[in-house]
Amino acid sequence: MTDVSDTETEGRAEEPAAGVDDELVAQLVARAQADGLRLTGEGGLLQQQFPPPPRGEQ
């Protein structure tokens, strides 16, 4: 596994993923926020769509 330190990425602009329409993403985020939807965090849309894997028995 390769670790990337902050100094290696510092100063570089993050490139958008191929095929991502930034304008569409911005519109969807604005619409969700206007409707009062949370995208991240406890009970947010991302957590509902992609729940964390179950933990082993403790």
What are the residues whose beta carbons fall under 8 Å from the beta carbon of 29, sequence distance 6 or more?
Answer: 39
pLDDT computed for residue 58 by the predictor: 52
* pLDDT tens across the length of the chain (58 residues): 444 444 455 555 677 677 888 999 889 889 888 988 888 888 888 888 888 888 875 5
pTM for this model (two decimals):
0.44
